[in-house]
Amino acid sequence: MRVDFTHETLPQRVVFASYEAAGHVADEVARLGAARPMVIAAEADSALADPLVAALPAAVRHTEVVMHVPADVAERARAAAKRHDADVLVSVGGGSTTGLAKAVALTTGLPIVAVPTTYAGSEATNVWGLTEDGRKTTGVDARVLPRSVVYDASLLLSLPVPLSVASGLNALAHCVDSMWAPRVDPIDQALALEGIRALRQGLPEVVRDPQGIEGREQTLYGAYLAAVAFASAGSGLHHKICHVLGGMYNLPHAQTHAVVLPYVLALNAPSVPDSEQRMAAAFGAASALEGLQRLREQVQAPRALRDYGLRESDLPAAVDAVLAAVPPHNPTPVTRADLEDLLRRAWNGGEPR
């Protein structure tokens, strides 16, 4: 079998070390030659951000962080960066926090040092997203890719187990989507498969022992691999569905991904038997869907979109919006009937098929 592909690796420095975030963040800021950092961290993450701020003389804080990065919130953050003459952004938090830093970098060109406190993965991609008038717009731009990422699994010890599960399954969705996304290549698939293996091992350990660092490290490692694969492979059907639902109905990001994933896997897997079997092996199961469902049972995954605010009456408009966003080369041709069935099952928590 011939090997023929083009792969682009994004330029980014990654530091992975538990219990050492403050020192490494200060080092990364210094490496960039910056002296006036603006630390973006929600009030809820103050306990995690405070030690990092203490290690950064002259740092200013910005605490207005909102899910899905509304455009007006982004504008206020840009104004704050300009007001303080910031020369670097330090984001401490999950995907919404990283996303806000990216929105500022998109128009200012300021470098980002990202310190993730969930398994969202946005820190490893050059993808930005903004929401306005119920519509989420995403794009790709080199300016939004963080220059450095400081991974410290100890910062995730306080992440509640249910949110850890949802966030970890969001990372798993990056792996699955990357197996057949528009720009997929063998490197992406290798990263995604190792990501599946790491997340399959790490997430149950996080549930069993939330204060154990090993499970957190393994899950964070898997989430990073997932994000690198996704950044290269691009956004597949799963992410198109979740971006539509999040933007239109303000659904929680991680939980939406966690619910939708098995339904997209069930739709696409039969059309890519080789990739399906490789995923099954990474899950340690006879089939990829069986492995995913077994993991979901182990960690008590979110089950239904109706549990997170989506109404049954919202489904027809959601189908229309998703149908317009379906990637052109999805493994299984997608019809309106497919989407109606998929979204209804995801809404009520029915069996994927």
Q: What is the mean pLDDT of residues 120-137?
A: 88
pLDDT tens for 305-314 read 999 999 999 9
CATH number at residue 115: 3.40.50.1970
Q: Are residues 150 and 175 in the same domain?
A: no
Separation of alpha carbons 16 and 266, rounded Å: 34
Q: Are residues 226 and 323 in the same domain?
A: yes
- Residue 194: is it exposed, middle or buried by C-beta count within 10 angstroms (0-12/13-18/19+)? middle
Residue whose token pair is 């990001």: 253
Q: Are residues 71 and 176 in the same domain?
A: no
One-letter amino acid of 144: V
Separation of alpha carbons 153 and 210, rounded Å: 11
Q: Are residues 260 and 122 in the same domain?
A: no
The pLDDT of residue 19 is 97
Tokens at residue 10, please?
Answer: 């994004």
- Write out the residue range of the structural domain in which residue 291 sits: 164-348
The Cβ of residue 57 has, within 10 Å, a number of other Cβ atoms equal to 10
- Residue 156: is it exposed, middle or buried by C-beta count within 10 angstroms (0-12/13-18/19+)? buried
Q: Are residues 236 and 313 in the same domain?
A: yes
As for how many domains the chain has, the answer is 2
Q: What is the 3-state secondary structure (H, E, C) of 221-237?
A: HHHHHHHHHHHHHCCCH
Please tell me whether residue 194 adopts helix, strand or coil conformation.
helix
Q: Are residues 333 and 199 in the same domain?
A: yes
Q: What is the mean pLDDT of residues 168-196?
A: 95
Q: Are residues 140 and 178 in the same domain?
A: no
Q: What is the mean pLDDT of residues 171-193?
A: 95
Domain membership flag for residue 1: no
Name the pTM for this structure: 0.91
Residue whose token pair is 């306990």: 47
Residue whose token pair is 């929680």: 252
The pLDDT of residue 247 is 84
Separation of alpha carbons 296 and 318, rounded Å: 25
CATH number at residue 254: 1.20.1090.10
pLDDT tens for 8-52 read 888 999 999 999 999 999 999 999 999 999 999 999 999 999 999
Domain membership flag for residue 305: yes
Q: What percent of the chain has pLDDT over 70?
A: 100
Separation of alpha carbons 171 and 156, rounded Å: 15
Q: Are residues 257 and 338 in the same domain?
A: yes
Radius of gyration of the chain (CA): 19
